[in-house]
Structure 1
Amino acid sequence: MIDLRLLREDPDRVRASQRARGEDVALVDSLLSADERRRSSGVRFDELRSEQKSLGKLIPKATPDERAELLKKAEQLKTDVKTAEAEQNEADEETKRLLLQLGNLVHPDVPVGGEEDFVVLETHGTIRDFAAEGFEPKDHLELGEALGAIDVERGAKVSGSRFYYLTGVGALLELALVNAAIAQATEAGFTPMLTPALVRPRAMEGTGFLGQAAENVYHLEKDDYYLVGTSEVPLAAYHMDEILDADKLPMRYAGFSPCFRREAGTYGKDTRGIFRVHQFDKVEMFSYVAPEDAENEHRRLLEWEKQWLTGLELPFQVIDVASGDLGASASRKFDCEAWIPTQGKYRELTSASNCDGFQARRLSVRMRDGKKVQPLATLNGTLCAVPRTIVAILENHQLADGSVRVPELLRPYLGGREVLEPISK
């Protein structure tokens, strides 16, 4: 959540942020009104409680005639205090409810607009000219089936559409990717983490996934647990309700976990193969830093993602995501999009988000610098979303005979194998 003091001091900035996101601007005025009621009712409650305490001291010293009048007044004060407390609690709850609906403040450098209004910041690698090489590229599913690596038919039989099996070299390729990603993150100073896939409501709400993103979250109603769509959630909640020493920052974690997404609203989109699925594994970077270090950390996360994709020898571009396509918790987000030959376009493989103090306030994660205690900043960055990375590797590194060249980065994790060959061979 944003800082209420900032809302009071500069409501126009918050209105502009809501407008840039394409969200309800009237929410800002509703929140200001609720906050004013909360503060005024709090003052009223404190005044009545003070008067009640003062009266309580007078009663033992009063004469019998005075005591009767004071007791009558005390009864009325008791009623007034209860009423004022109820009004304060109601206004406080209303303020919290509205505050949780408000997205993070959009960074001033973020391009304004919708999904297609991103700005390309960088382009890396060379797109292969398959026509010049004399063959038409196959898509990842055709390649994966020939390699004995992907089985979506049985995935659908067992679990329904958008589920799959990785088999044989497909399973080995996932393990190679995960091990290589964790190795890179560890070398960069991240602590490896295996995180829970089920979290309580506060963890999910605290990271900002029960607002606009709620439709894509799986909820186990009987137990009131949520299946995480990213290890960002348990990593953000790892230090929930804690105060961290400033001199121990930054704290960096690399979480590996299964991820579950309903993919609501995407029916008919990316239905072939394993590009958009309901369950997948992912390595996620997560950082806790001092607020003044957040923007530099954001750039560092992006550099680690670029290092990863360059190591996989994939052509990709870096985009500055437009305001209307940001998640509720991000003030700014950079995506790395890899070229997918059979789609003829770049598609998102990794992302890096700066959440400033938004998640930290909701989860009560603070830092102590001397005597000062304040919210810190959290950031997250996908290093390897496994299925999409496999898609990009198979399509970009395929050879004319249907085999696939293994990037040098992954060869030590695949027993030195240089080429994945169709099982028909």
Structure 2
Amino acid sequence: MLDIKFIRENVETVKEAARNKRFDVDIDRLLELDERRRDLMSSSEKIRARRNEVAQAIPKASKEERPALIEEGKQLKEDLASYEEELVEVQAAYEGLLLMVPNVTLPEVPIGETDEDNEVIRHVGEPRTFDFEPRDHEELGELLGIIDKERGIKVGGARSYALRGAGALLEMAVMRLGMDLMVERGYEPIIGPLMVNESALVGTGFFPYGKEDTYHLEKDDKYLVGTSEVILVSLNADEILEQDSLPRRYCGFSPCFRREAGSAGRDTRGVYRVHQFTKVEQVIICEADEAKSRALHEELLGNSEALMQKLELPYRVALACTGEIGLGQVLKHEIETWMPSRGMYSETHSCSSLYDYQARRSGIRYRNEEGQMRYCYTLNNTLAASPRILIPILEHYQNEDGSVTVPEALRPYMHGIEVIRPKGA
């Protein structure tokens, strides 16, 4: 969340950021609550101080003075209870509204509403030109017997699927290639809990806005994660880190779950938009330094590009516009991979810088060289998410007979399978 002092001093900037990000939050109401909260706190402190004075004066008071002091003490007690009761209500409303205020984007972020307003930075690789009529990944998956949507839906309902045989191996191969890449680059691999407390989702900025997309296990009051970013950032919640331990580089592997609320009827063919997927995520926690944060942003982006280049898939990097940036991000780049069946580049990765937004919510601080407490900065980026990454792999590497050549970088993980062939071939 933002520092309330920053909001007070930059009201119009914060309002503009909220409009550009398309978040409807009442900043004026927040400031009213903030002012009332501070008034109540100040008044309560004055009453407490006077109560103490009265309490100390009563034993020393004369017989004539004592009744008035006792009566004043009773009135002060009632007044304090009234102020404190209102303060609890005002504080709750204030904190709830403060959590809904989005971060302010960097000046370089283009103003826009949809991904069509993103600014393309660079292209890497060329989309493949086919000399035959290419199949989409759903048709290939059925032909090869590696994507079984019919039985997946039978078991799990809409937007479910099953990866079978070489399809399951292919997903695991991508995940393992990604994890190996990150370990080689000095990131700590982490597999954490998939069921998390609400505080972890509030702390990372996915609540309150993202509740409708999150699966709630009501009996246990736990939530299923939609990304291991929640796990990786929350590992250090409410901790004070030493500066020489920063930056902390994490890579998480996890299944992920999203309800995809509001996406009824969209992307129903294939496995582009599903309820359950597997992901390798990168997270960095660093000191509060904008230049260092930007260098680490480029590092995270470079890690994902290195994986894409190992897979030899054509992609482009785009600077996300304000309407495509989430609540906490000050900067986001997307990697969009060419998907032949869609005839377009589609998002497969998002690289985000959040400055101290998550750390303030999560209570992640460090002691700098001067011994001062500062909130850390956080960054994250997708390294690989499946089955979405399988779409360009299957479609880009398909052959005329319906077989799919396994990318060379994945072959060491495929138990000798170099070409996935149609069933019965």
- Once the two structures are superposed, the pairs formed by residues 249-268 of structure 1 within 5 Å of their partners are 249-268=246-265
TM-score (norm 2): 0.96
- Once the two structures are superposed, the pairs formed by residues 216-235 of structure 1 within 5 Å of their partners are 216-235=213-232
Deviations 1:320-374 (A, max 9, x none): 1111122212222111010001111001111111121111111111111142112
Q: Residues 148 and 163 of structure 2 are in contact (CA less than 8 Å); yes or no, is this contact kept in structure 1?
A: yes
Q: Where in structure 1 are there 5+ consecutive unaligned residues?
A: none
Aligned AA for 2:162?
Y
C-alpha separation between the residues in 2 aligned to 1:416 and 1:185? 24
- 1:113 maps to 112
C-alpha separation between the residues in 2 aligned to 1:155 and 1:241? 40
Moved more, 321-330 or 239-248: 321-330
SS at match of 2:387: helix
Q: Residues 211 and 328 of structure 1 are in contact (CA less than 8 Å); yes or no, is this contact kept in structure 2?
A: no
- 2:328 maps to 329
C-alpha separation between the residues in 2 aligned to 1:333 and 1:215? 23
C-alpha separation between the residues in 1 aligned to 2:210 and 2:333? 19
1:86 CA displacement: 2.1
Residue 126 of structure 2 corresponds to residue 126 of structure 1: yes
C-alpha separation between the residues in 2 aligned to 1:218 and 1:424? 40
1:67 CA displacement: 1.7
- 2:160 maps to 163
Q: Residues 367 and 376 of structure 1 are in contact (CA less than 8 Å); yes or no, is this contact kept in structure 2?
A: yes
Moved more, 375-384 or 397-406: 397-406
SS at match of 2:398: coil
When the two structures are aligned, how many residues end up with a matched partner?
Answer: 421
- 1:209 maps to 206
C-alpha separation between the residues in 1 aligned to 2:285 and 2:50? 45
Residue 144 of structure 2 corresponds to residue 147 of structure 1: yes
1:220 CA displacement: 1.6
Moved more, 278-287 or 68-77: 68-77
1:256 CA displacement: 0.7
- 2:350 maps to 351
1:158 CA displacement: 1.2
1:286 CA displacement: 0.9
- Once the two structures are superposed, the pairs formed by residues 17-416 of structure 1 within 5 Å of their partners are 17-24=17-24, 27-115=26-114, 116-130=116-130, 134-292=131-289, 293-370=292-369, 371-416=371-416
TM-score (norm 1): 0.96
C-alpha separation between the residues in 2 aligned to 1:108 and 1:11? 17
* Alignment RMSD (CA, Å): 1.3
Q: Residues 45 and 88 of structure 1 are in contact (CA less than 8 Å); yes or no, is this contact kept in structure 2?
A: no
Deviations 1:287-343 (A, max 9, x none): 111121222211111111111111110000111111112221222211101000111
C-alpha separation between the residues in 1 aligned to 2:239 and 2:21? 31
Q: Residues 112 and 323 of structure 1 are in contact (CA less than 8 Å); yes or no, is this contact kept in structure 2?
A: yes
Q: Residues 21 and 326 of structure 2 are in contact (CA less than 8 Å); yes or no, is this contact kept in structure 1?
A: no
% identical equivalent positions = 44
Deviations 1:49-85 (A, max 9, x none): 1111122222222122222221111111111222222
Q: Where in structure 2 are there 5+ consecutive unaligned residues?
A: none
SS at match of 2:133: coil
Deviations 1:188-235 (A, max 9, x none): 111101121111111112222223322211112222111111111111
Q: Residues 33 and 90 of structure 2 are in contact (CA less than 8 Å); yes or no, is this contact kept in structure 1?
A: yes
